[in-house]
């Protein structure tokens, strides 16, 4: 299955998770940031959502995080993030984005190299993602090497709907991850404690699929 064509990209540093509300952006971004850190990368996780879900998650955590977290729900991020990357010597800056298409989302898009769109296998998410993709296409006028990809999240088993969504993405020439993130209680359990699935059970199916997703992400970035 053809998923990406990134021959013109040497290395992506800014990963922006965005999409409509309730698709699991924060859950995926916190777990991926943790997994990248486990692999030896220095990571900054930026909360660019006015609801500050990442900061709320970090506040209830009882043990120190292995990566840096900061809130930046403002359009000035496109000027500030490059400075922070240099000053902090970060390998990756992961941005947890706002759920609506606003000036803040546009600023995050322009700041990013790789836009990752979690999407639940439903028609409602498909329509909302169409709006985002239109905005991304507009941004490519100014940043031609911007990469976008969809990851199906909260998939229940091997459902017909998930297969139909994948078929739809193929027919519309969307780039997408082969890895699906499934609906699992461990994600919610970990999040309510300010933890990741790796903290709770590093050998769980949840941890395995996040690792698989990170493997695919890194493979794309380094290809």
- Give the Cα separation of 20 and 147 in Å (integer): 19
pLDDT value, residue 1: 35
- Give the Cα separation of 73 and 197 in Å (integer): 26
Rg of the Cα atoms in the chain: 16
Strands (E), 2-85: 14-17, 43-47, 68-71
Q: How does pLDDT run across 117-175, given as a tens digit for each residue? A: 888 877 666 666 666 677 677 777 767 777 878 888 988 866 677 777 777 766 666 78
Contacts of 28 (CB under 8 A, 6+ apart): 17, 116, 118, 151, 153, 181, 210, 213
Residue in the block written with tokens 């993405």: 169
pLDDT value, residue 7: 42
Q: What pLDDT band is residue 10 in, cutting at 50, 70 and 90?
A: very low
């Amino acid at each position: 299955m053809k998923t990406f064509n990134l021959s013109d990209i040497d290395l992506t540093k800014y990963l922006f998770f965005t999409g409509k509300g309730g698709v699991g952006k924060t859950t995926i971004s916190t777990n991926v940031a943790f997994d990248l850190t486990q692999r030896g990368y220095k990571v900054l996780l930026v909360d660019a959502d006015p609801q500050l879900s990442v900061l709320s998650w970090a506040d209830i955590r009882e043990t120190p995080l292995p990566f840096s977290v900061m809130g930046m729900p403002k359009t000035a991020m496109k000027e500030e993030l490059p400075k922070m990357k240099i000053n902090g010597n970060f390998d990756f800056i992961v941005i947890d984005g706002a759920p609506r298409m606003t000036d803040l989302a546009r600023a995050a898009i322009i700041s990013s190299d790789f836009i990752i769109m979690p999407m639940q296998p439903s028609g409602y998410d498909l329509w909302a993602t169409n709006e985002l993709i239109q905005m991304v296409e507009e941004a490519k006028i100014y940043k031609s090497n911007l990469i976008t990809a969809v990851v199906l999240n909260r998939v229940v088993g091997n459902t017909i709907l998930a297969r139909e969504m994948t078929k739809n993405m193929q027919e519309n020439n969307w780039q997408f991850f082969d890895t699906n993130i499934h609906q699992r209680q461990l994600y919610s359990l970990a999040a309510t404690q300010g933890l990741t699935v790796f903290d709770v059970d590093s050998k769980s199916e949840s941890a395995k699929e996040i690792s698989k997703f990170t493997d695919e992400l890194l493979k794309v970035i380094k290809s």
